[in-house]
């Protein structure tokens, strides 16, 4: 077998056998196949796709390229988001469902996004520790139903190496590569049920609905091959989620949401994803699960679990520093907001220092943007549109205002939950 023949076979549109995929991944990991050859291979997949069978085989090979975690619980529910601007959902959902008896043993990333990943966000709570031994992790899940850390163990090394290459070779947006990357990691981390928040729109990994449905259906198929309960919730990511974008600002919004005082869209998303997680985790109907989720969102039990969780991981919830330097941006005219470009708001937050361009960049947890309005709202000229929290790095009013569009007539509020594929 030879990588050139494999690339050639793919180029001709022929299906690859599991042995050929195994050969490619093994030899890329051991350095025999070079980055430029792997890049040609990934580009062929990006252009021509993979069959479902090839994608399932690739996922299995990636999954078995490293360790897999057995946490010793048989009812762990994991939630994954494909990433979006202002996405602080995990910080609300994890304690909320844990307060209902669902076990959440989660590994999250720092991410190269416009703001940090969940781990960075949690570190904006003073003292919050995001690493611990496997023994402590298991004990915490057993004691209080929830633990969340950065990556542990050598899970899916094949994804680490190929994802880094995809990132610099324009092959991140291939549906079969995304599916095998996400699913191999979810399967390796020991959950029995998986809920995926698949974002669709301008601020998301996948911008078209057709592609999102294709991705959801192959991920569900892969999950079922491993006897996992799995649901993919397709959600709109054309405008930022909630009002806050930036690490500590998002944590504060997440905490307010757990107190029942969150933005409508975030609250709605939490209820929808939480319903799936609780229904799978407790083996109850979605109707019953939804009632339980709403109850603990509004009776303070979800927030109490957040406090317990924060203390268990060394954090002080009363200390979440936010920059004192603020600048208010006002509406330039009267009208209905017809769009707030999530991607642009994300890029501006990163420019303020809230996110990374390369994995070694330092991020400023205290900066970001807090919107006062969402798409569909009516604003009067001079009214506050948003507040910028900044330190050394600044952004201009023009840069921010170019992310907004206004309309004279009424604009319908976008639908957040687009579809649920199971």
Report, as residue numbers or ranges, the catalytic residues: 80, 159, 166, 181, 185
Q: Confirm if 372 and 387 have CB atoms less than 8 A apart.
A: yes
Beta bridge partners, 197, equal 81, 233
Shortest separation between residue 180's beta carbon and ligand URA, angstroms: 8
Phi, psi of 180 (to 5 degrees): -70, -30
CA 134/CA 84 separation, integer angstroms: 29
When the beta carbons of 156 and 322 are compared against ligand URA, the nearer one is 156
When the beta carbons of 140 and 174 are compared against ligand URA, the nearer one is 174
C-alpha angle 371-404-256 in degrees, rounded to nearest 5? 15
Shortest separation between residue 319's beta carbon and ligand URA, angstroms: 31
> Taking CB under 6 A as the rule, does residue 348 contact ligand URA?
no
CA 313/CA 297 separation, integer angstroms: 22
Q: Interacting stretch for ligand URA, rule CB under 6 A, among 1-9, 178-186, 221-229, 314-322? A: 178-186
Cβ-based neighbours of 396, under 8 Å, separated by 6 or more: none
Q: What is the DSSP letter of 299?
A: S
Phi, psi of 53 (to 5 degrees): -65, -40
C-alpha angle 235-239-242 in degrees, rounded to nearest 5? 80
Shortest separation between residue 209's beta carbon and ligand URA, angstroms: 18
Binding test (CB under 6 A) with ligand URA, winner from 96, 156, 178, 233: 178
Binding test (CB under 6 A) with ligand URA, winner from 65, 181, 310, 313: 181
Task: Name residues contacting ligand URA, limited to 149-168 (CB under 6 A).
Answer: 163
Question: HSE of 197 in the Cβ direction (CA atoms, 13 Å)?
Answer: 28
> Taking CB under 6 A as the rule, does residue 219 contact ligand URA?
no
Shortest separation between residue 159's beta carbon and ligand URA, angstroms: 7
Q: Interacting stretch for ligand URA, rule CB under 6 A, among 11-19, 173-181, 257-265, 301-309? A: 173-181
When the beta carbons of 38 and 177 are compared against ligand URA, the nearer one is 177
Binding mask 353-372 for ligand URA (x = CB under 6 A): --------------------
The residue number with the shortest CB distance to ligand URA is 181
> Taking CB under 6 A as the rule, does residue 82 contact ligand URA?
yes
> Taking CB under 6 A as the rule, does residue 205 contact ligand URA?
yes
> Taking CB under 6 A as the rule, does residue 182 contact ligand URA?
yes
Shortest separation between residue 139's beta carbon and ligand URA, angstroms: 28
Shortest separation between residue 157's beta carbon and ligand URA, angstroms: 14
Q: Confirm if 246 and 349 have CB atoms less than 8 A apart.
A: yes
Q: Interacting stretch for ligand URA, rule CB under 6 A, among 133-141, 174-182, 230-238, 310-318? A: 174-182
> Taking CB under 6 A as the rule, does residue 85 contact ligand URA?
no
Q: What is the 3-state secondary structure (H, E, C) of 241-295?
A: CCCEECHHHHHHHHHHHHCCCCCHHHHHHHHHHHHHHHHHHHCCCHHHHHHHHHH
* Nearest CA-CA partner of 310 in 129, 107, 152: 129
- Residues forming the site for ligand URA (CB under 6 A): 82, 163, 172, 177-178, 181-182, 205
């Amino acid at each position: 077998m030879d990588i050139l023949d494999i690339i050639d076979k793919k180029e001709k549109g022929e299906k690859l056998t599991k042995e050929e995929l195994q050969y490619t991944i093994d030899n890329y990991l051991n350095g025999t196949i070079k980055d430029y050859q792997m890049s040609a291979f990934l580009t062929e997949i990006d252009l021509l796709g993979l069959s479902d069978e090839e994608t399932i085989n690739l996922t299995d090979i990636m999954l078995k390229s490293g360790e897999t975690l057995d946490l010793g619980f048989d009812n762990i529910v994991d939630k994954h988001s494909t990433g979006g601007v202002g996405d602080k959902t995990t910080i609300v959902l994890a304690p909320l469902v844990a307060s209902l008896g669902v076990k959440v043993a989660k590994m999250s990333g720092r991410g190269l996004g416009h703001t940090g990943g969940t781990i960075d966000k949690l570190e904006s709570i003073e003292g919050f520790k995001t690493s611990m031994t496997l023994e402590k992790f298991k004990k915490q899940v057993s004691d209080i139903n929830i633990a969340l850390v950065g990556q542990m163990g050598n899970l899916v090394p094949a994804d680490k190496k190929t994802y880094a290459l995809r990132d610099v070779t324009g092959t991140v947006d291939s549906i079969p590569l995304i599916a095998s990357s996400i699913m191999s990691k979810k399967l390796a981390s020991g959950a029995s049920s998986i809920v995926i928040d698949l974002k669709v729109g301008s601020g998301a990994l996948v911008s078209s609905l057709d592609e999102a449905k294709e991705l959801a259906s192959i991920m569900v198929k892969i999950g079922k091959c491993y006897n996992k309960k799995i649901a993919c919730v397709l959600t709109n990511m054309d405008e930022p989620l909630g009002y806050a974008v930036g690490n500590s600002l998002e944590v504060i919004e997440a905490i307010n949401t757990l107190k029942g005082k969150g933005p409508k869209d975030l609250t709605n998303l939490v209820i929808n994803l939480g319903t799936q997680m609780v229904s799978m985790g407790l083996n109850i109907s979605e109707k019953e699960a939804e009632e339980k989720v709403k109850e603990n969102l509004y009776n303070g039990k979800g927030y109490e679990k957040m406090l317990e969780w924060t203390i268990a991981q060394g954090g002080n919830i009363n200390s979440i520093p936010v920059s004192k330097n603020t600048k208010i941006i006002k509406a330039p005219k009267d009208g209905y907001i017809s769009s707030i470009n999530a991607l642009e708001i994300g890029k501006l937050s990163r420019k303020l220092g809230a996110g990374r361009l390369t994995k070694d960049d330092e991020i400023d947890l205290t900066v970001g943007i807090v919107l006062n309005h969402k798409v569909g709202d009516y604003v009067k000229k001079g009214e506050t549109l948003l507040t910028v929290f900044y330190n050394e790095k600044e952004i201009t009013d023009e840069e921010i205002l170019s992310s907004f569009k206004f309309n004279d007539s009424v604009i319908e509020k976008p639908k957040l939950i687009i579809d649920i594929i199971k």
